[in-house]
Each structure stands twice: as structure tokens, then as C-alpha cells.
Chains A and B, each alone.
Chain A
Amino acid sequence: MEGFGVNFAFWTLSAVTLGAAGGVVVSRNLLHAVLFLILAFIGVAGFFVLLSAEFIAMAQVIIYVGAISVLVLFAVLLTPRAGRDNGETAMALPALLLAIAVATVFIFVVNDTNWTTVAKSPELATAELGTALLSTWVLPFELASVLLTAALVGAIMLVRSREEEAEDALA
């Protein structure tokens, strides 16, 4: 992973990702914003590949591009008339200033810190990742599954309509 190819890939992916992210935060049409968001997710997945984290890139594509984007599209579908002409709030200018300030602080800190990068070590194998996930990190792993179950039940309870609740009360 040396030389021109990696640099070219990095700058191209940066342009695509930042352009798409900018599209998400400025586009007035909700559907366009979702499509820009999908492009930004794919760009970030490309960065994961570039950082030789293939499994996370695959998870990113499957979960973000495959599942979360479809979920957002369904939300757009179920909230008609809300999809078009979404303006900014009155706080747009302060928000812009705050975002620029946050970016400036981050970039200053990043450039000011002396990062001690380690020498290139062997690449991370997916098997090692799985072993670590089920040995060292098994408690957070189980907690994450509980969290997902709770979120699933909560989402189903939240979107039930009054008619469905009445039917369940009769049964």
C-alpha cells in the first residue's frame, strides 16, 4: 500500500465523501438528502478498505447502506408532504459559525499533537476480530444484543396504531 494509488484513492474518496456529506446538510429535498447520505456511507466504507479494515467496511455497507438507508427511505415514505422544501431554522448562521469553530479546534489539535505512529504491523484478520469479540469483549457484545432487542421492541410499540392496540386489548 505505497505510493500514488493510495494517495489518489484517498483524495478521490475525500472529495466524494465530503461532497456527499455537504449535499446531505444543504439539500432541500429529503429524497436527495437520503441519496447523498448513501453516497457518503459508501465513501466512508472506501476509507475503511483503505485502512485495511475489510470486515468493518463490509459491515458499513451492509448495515448503513443496506439497512439504515432503507429505514430512512421508509420514514420519508411514511411522512408524506414533509419530503420537499425543508428549509433551515433561524439558527442556521450561528450553527454554521459553531461548526466552523468546532472544525477549527479539531484541525488545530490534530496538527498540534505529536502522533507516535507504530511501525506497520501485520494486517488485522477478521478471524482475530471475531475471537476478540467473543473473548475479551464478550460482555459489551451481549449488552449490544440486549440493546438491539430493546430497540426492536420499543420501535414496534411506538409505531403501533390505535386500532392495533384496541384489537390487542380485545384478544
Chain B
Amino acid sequence: MVPLENYLVLSAILFSLGVYGVLARRNAVLILMSVELMLNAVSLNFVAFAAYLDPDKITGAIFAIFVITVAAAEVGLALAIVIRLFRNRATSNVDEAATMKW
């Protein structure tokens, strides 16, 4: 069987790729996709812990389900905001929506 550390290292790398994407990309949709990558890494971690550390295997799976649910709600709202931004400003780049920047 694959050791637990392999899954944890994998999801750490996936999460770090998401961190890079959130901080380095300019397009709001791309930032959102990087957030999805990070959420996916977290739920992979939950399921790996459930499979290796929990005799019942329930709790980690439940948490993964809630992560997926919240991600769906978050994506719907965030894309609505992006579309609204594009309608008002004709751009979806976060660094061009800087009216409130000091």
C-alpha cells in the first residue's frame, strides 16, 4: 500500500501550486481556479487521513463532502461577481479594479 506520507506530500505540492496561482495570476477566473486547486488538495488530505488514521473512516469523508459543497457555492457567487465586474469595467483583471486602492 502507498504510504500516507506520499498522499500528504502530493496534496502539499498541489496546495502550493494553488497558492502560487492565487498570488501570481491577474485574471479573476484564474485566481478562482487556483482556489479550487487548493480546496481539492485539502479534501484529498481529509480523505487520506480518513483512510489511514481513522478506524471509522467517516469523519474525513464527511468533511470532504462539505468542502465540495462549499466550493460549489463559492464558485457560483465568485463567478457572478466576476461577470458583474466585467460588465461594469470591461475587464476581469483584479489589478485593474483598483478604485478603492489607496
Contacts and interface: CB of A to CB of B under 8 A. Distances in A.
B16 A102 contact: yes
Give the size category of A's interface with B: 35 or more
Interface in A106-142: 106-107, 110-111, 115-118, 120-121, 123-124, 128-129, 132-133, 136-137, 140
A68 B71 contact: yes
B12 A107 contact: yes
Nearest to A132: B58
A137 B62 contact: yes
Contacts of B72: 63, 67-68, 148, 151
Contacts of B87: 161
Chain B contact residues, majority secondary structure? helix
Chain A contact residues, majority secondary structure? helix
Given A40-B37, A159-B83, A82 B27 contact: yes
Interface in A10-65: 10, 14, 17-18, 21-22, 24-25, 30, 33-34, 37, 40-41, 44, 47-48, 50-53, 55-56, 59-60, 63-64
B43 to A, nearest CB: 8
Contact of A17 (B10, B20, B25, B53): B10
A171 interface: no
Nearest to A148: B73
Contact of A60 (B68, B80, B81, B83): B68
Interface in B24-79: 24-27, 29-30, 32-34, 36-37, 40, 43-44, 47-48, 50-58, 61-62, 64-66, 68-77, 79
Contacts of A151: 72-74, 76-77
29 contacts: A7-B2, A14-B6, A21-B17, A24-B33, A25-B18, A34-B33, A40-B14, A47-B48, A48-B64, A53-B51, A56-B65, A60-B43, A72-B75, A86-B27, A89-B95, A99-B17, A99-B19, A99-B20, A102-B15, A102-B19, A103-B15, A106-B12, A107-B13, A110-B12, A111-B9, A115-B5, A115-B52, A158-B80, A158-B81
